[in-house]
A and B are shown apart, each in its own frame.
Chain A
């Protein structure tokens, strides 16, 4: 059977979010960190838990787009689990970890 994968939840507004994007020059998936920098590891992302923090993070994403660091930034819903942060939607699970059908290309997501 194919690799087991966490089922995604409905498109709910989770209490916990992070901001993601693709890096401009190579397209790699990145996450906004606590210093308004960008990390390839979901576990190092800045965790957003208030509307004010969300607005600030979204603004930081747009600023990074304008500064030619990333493209297509947006917030995603995540949950805290025993192994750290996990996206709620399957699409974002796959973006964070890599194609589920290429074990050799899976990438670490933790801090």
Chain B
């Protein structure tokens, strides 16, 4: 893992001191709320329905056991004993008192964490594949490049007041688990013609009220040009992005209004100018220095097949389901990448108690080289687990409600906090996720349905990623009543697509039945168990689902 150097420590410590002073000035009346609000937002502090909310950055979704243990401590000491992992691989605490936040930031700084650039019109936390550095299908670990981008973008003077917030995602594998095509910039690591490492570059993706799939502006960018090219993109956006209308201020609108061909020309022209200075050429020795922080752990050699793992699968259907769904092939033989589901049946997606955080931290120490990942699908991941150890790990997870074997299945639902917490929401999300989870929770039924990603947002801002849900639900307020629109066929993977609205919405009392109708229609019409829900929707189109939901026209 990356470790702070002297500059990082000094920078974060000074920012905590600065914010402590700002909080004191706010509480003493020296600052009005209008003056203080932009300052607190720069430090990840929002005011939500019930209390302040603190959004903590988890850079590229990587945590050490020490850091996760500290998050548990903060949850217990300053909050209400739990935190919420988000679709941006971050953690939110829902109940901190403003007067306590400087102390929380001190605690975070002590484990090399902070809440900077988790809000505001700046470059946000760079996200990546939650299996980074472990996945068998990986071309290269994306985290060193995400770290380089983090260092470059932190309080970058030119890009701290952009037209709107800006999100970058990096994937190191052709299987896109980071949803790069729905980010402002998406980077896909790939091998170049000369065998070197570089990137395919996508620009102008995003969700929110105007969902768009990104355009590929470069098929191959050598790694040494990463910062120069991203800087060129940022300059074009900063110069031409709209500032007159916040709903049209994201780069996706600029790309759409300018045209992909013209925006590519502008970026390439700016890139030529940036390159002339040589200032942003990434030296190979610096790439190697950062990459060394993310060196693969020294895993003891193991046979590819584990007798203990296979025996446990034979003994227990629940463990077999866990092994099938939550254990992903590791690049090292005899090891697996284990997803710790934060989606217990009927539970709140993404929530973890202080005790659960500490348990996962302890298990990471025992079984996963002290490393944890946060996925944008609101689960935790133990990236380096010997298959021999999975049965024991599973047993300990089960003691704490963390062994649900549903990763990627119908109950592995993404849900934003919705109207239960969020000041922007129009409808609740979590309760619908819980109802759906209970409806589909039977293991045999989940297995029969297979891979199916349901994603729920409580407003058009789409924090629940509903646009890229195989089934997406968008909560709206219809004359004082919560109503849920259903979209079908969205996907955030390498075949990215925006889901299409299937028809009029359903009330909260109706929507679970409606989703069940959609799922049953799929089961009836699929060509076999190997045809996933998404494949079936793409083959069949919307019509059979419309007819099932609303009757034949």
Contact = CB atoms under 8 A, between A and B. Distances in A.
A48 to B, nearest CB: 21
A75 to B, nearest CB: 17
A99 B95 CA distance: 12
Contact of B98 (A7, A8, A26): A26
A102 B420 CA distance: 9
B420 A101 contact: yes
Interface stretch (B49-57, B139-147, B161-169, B515-523): B49-57
A35 interface: no
Nearest to A70: B33
Contact of A7 (B28, B80, B430, B480): B480
B47 A71 contact: yes
Interface stretch (B195-203, B226-234, B283-291, B431-439): B431-439
Interface string B453-495: 0000000000000000000000001011110000000000000
B431 A27 contact: no
Contact of A25 (B27, B47, B480): B27
B480 A94 contact: no
A100 B420 contact: yes
A7 B29 CA distance: 39
Contacts of A111: none
Contacts of B482: 7, 90
A58 B302 CA distance: 70
A49 interface: no
Interface in B336-388: 348
Contacts of A1: 435
Given A2-B432, A91-B419, A68 B481 contact: no
B9 to A, nearest CB: 29
B97 interface: yes
A7 B428 CA distance: 12
SS of A interface (majority) = loop
A11 interface: yes
Given A8-B480, A27-B98, A99 B421 contact: yes
A28 B50 CA distance: 6
B515 to A, nearest CB: 14
Contacts of A91: 49, 419
B240 interface: no
Given A27-B52, A71-B33, A101 B27 contact: no
A78 B243 CA distance: 38
Contact of A100 (B96, B431, B477, B479): B431
A72 B420 CA distance: 19
Interface string A14-39: 00000000101111110000000000
Contacts of A95: 49-50
Interface string B1-44: 00000000000000000000000001111000100000000000
A1 B510 CA distance: 11
B479 to A, nearest CB: 5
B101 to A, nearest CB: 10
A90 B481 CA distance: 8
A25 B102 CA distance: 12
A99 B431 CA distance: 10
Nearest to B434: A2
Contacts of A71: 33, 47
Given A2-B432, A8-B481, A29-B49, A99 B420 contact: yes
A30 B94 CA distance: 17
B400 interface: no
Contacts of A101: 348, 420, 428, 430-431, 434
A9 B480 CA distance: 5
Nearest to B421: A99
Nearest to B27: A25
Contacts of B481: 7-8
A17 B430 CA distance: 29
Contact of A90 (B26, B48, B95, B480): B480
A17 B96 CA distance: 29
A11 B99 contact: no
Given A24-B26, A26-B99, A91-B49, 20 more contacts: A2-B431, A2-B435, A3-B431, A8-B481, A25-B99, A26-B51, A26-B52, A26-B97, A26-B98, A27-B50, A27-B51, A29-B49, A68-B27, A68-B29, A90-B482, A94-B419, A94-B428, A95-B49, A99-B430, A101-B428
8 contacts: A2-B508, A8-B480, A24-B27, A27-B52, A27-B98, A68-B27, A90-B482, A99-B421
